[in-house]
Amino acid sequence: MKKSRFTDEQIIGFLKQAEAGMPVKELCRSGGFSDATFYKWRAKYGGMEASDASKLRGLESENAKLKKLLAEAHLDIHALKSVFGVKH
């Protein structure tokens, strides 16, 4: 996945500026990102605080690790079945 130029805290800061009344076009121009990026961020981070974003980042990394472990377990099971000739 592509790494963002902005931290979660910066993104939430941009969203808070928009909530405070700054026009989205002006905010995007000054921040150097597109309107589409702003609306994507708003869908993902809308209503969050900076601490919530750090918790989200931690949960996403934990989820990725668990998915990797599950995939490895499925590969092991498939390999064992093929070695012992068990049909699935």
Q: Which amino acid is at 33?
A: F
Half-sphere exposure of residue 36: CA atoms within 13 angstroms, side-chain side: 0
User: Which residues of the chain, if any, have pLDDT below 70?
Assistant: 1-2, 87-88
Structure confidence at residue 2 (pLDDT): 66
pTM value?
0.61
Contact criterion met (CB below 8 Å) for 11 and 45: yes
